[in-house]
């Protein structure tokens, strides 16, 4: 075998030195983040979970099916078919039809706090809030359709509005004992207009601009909120 020539840098008589071994740097795309997660883990956390999309599809199909068939005739199998999933997935997430209906009819109307504003603006502000919510949230319209077709849906809608309007009334109602009655009256106006405008699509109701709708409803809602007597 051929002998290797000594290094030009070698010092005669000196002990051979071993060059330090360079450790590979941790690639930037796998280095842990400040919270200890790798970039892949962080990306997975940021990416919507598949189960969320599945749940959303189930709930959308359930609202449509409950609205079309009513609670009694709607079936888990039909809802699963509409959502393009296996019926076992519906049962996995919601247990049974009652559990699915409860989830599908879960509504948060986000009733506004009216206390920072002048008392005589309460009606207009409340109506504007509900009109804007209705026009940006398909869930409310879907549940209105369910409420029209079956008693379970109707009861759910009545309960949601009665309960969630209570905090508004508690802040402005002159007679606290009348709060349940006033809440029911407000719901009758809000739900009645929503039914005509967003479900039945009655031309005069649909034809009103948002400002016109608020101008018509606000005085009545103001009276229900703050009037001493009918």
The pLDDT value recorded for residue 223 is 95
209: left (phi over 0), alpha (psi -120 to 50) or beta: beta
pLDDT at 95 over 80: yes
Instruction: Please tell me the least confidently modeled range out of 121-130, 182-191, 212-221.
Output: 182-191
Written as six digits, the tokens of 209 are 């601009």
Greatest CA separation for the chain: 114
Q: Cβ distance 179 to 169 under 8 Å?
A: yes
Predicted TM-score (pTM) of the model is 0.66
Q: What does the angle CA 25 – CA 28 – CA 30 come to, to the nearest 5 degrees?
A: 95
């Amino acid at each position: 075998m051929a002998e290797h020539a000594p290094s030009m840098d070698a010092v005669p008589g000196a002990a051979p030195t071993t060059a330090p071994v360079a450790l590979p740097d941790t690639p930037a795309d796998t280095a842990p983040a400040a919270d200890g997660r790798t970039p892949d883990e962080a990306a997975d956390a940021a990416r919507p979970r598949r189960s969320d999309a599945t749940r959303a599809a189930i709930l959308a199909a359930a609202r449509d099916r409950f609205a079309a068939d009513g609670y009694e005739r709607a079936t888990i199998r039909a809802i699963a078919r509409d959502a393009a999933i296996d019926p076992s997935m519906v049962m996995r997430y919601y247990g049974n039809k009652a559990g699915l209906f409860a989830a599908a009819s879960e509504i948060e109307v986000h009733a506004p706090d009216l206390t920072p504003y002048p008392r005589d603006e309460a009606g207009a502000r409340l109506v504007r809030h509900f009109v804007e919510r209705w026009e940006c949230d398909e869930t409310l319209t879907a549940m209105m359709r369910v409420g029209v077709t079956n008693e379970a849906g109707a009861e759910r809608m009545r309960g949601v509005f009665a309960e969630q309007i209570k905090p508004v009334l508690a802040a402005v109602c002159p007679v606290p004992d009348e709060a349940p009655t006033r809440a029911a009256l407000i719901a009758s106006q809000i739900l009645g207009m929503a039914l005509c405008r967003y479900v039945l699509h009655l031309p005069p109701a649909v034809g009103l601009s948002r400002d016109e709708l608020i101008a018509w409803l606000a005085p009545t809602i103001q009276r229900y909120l703050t009037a001493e007597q009918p």
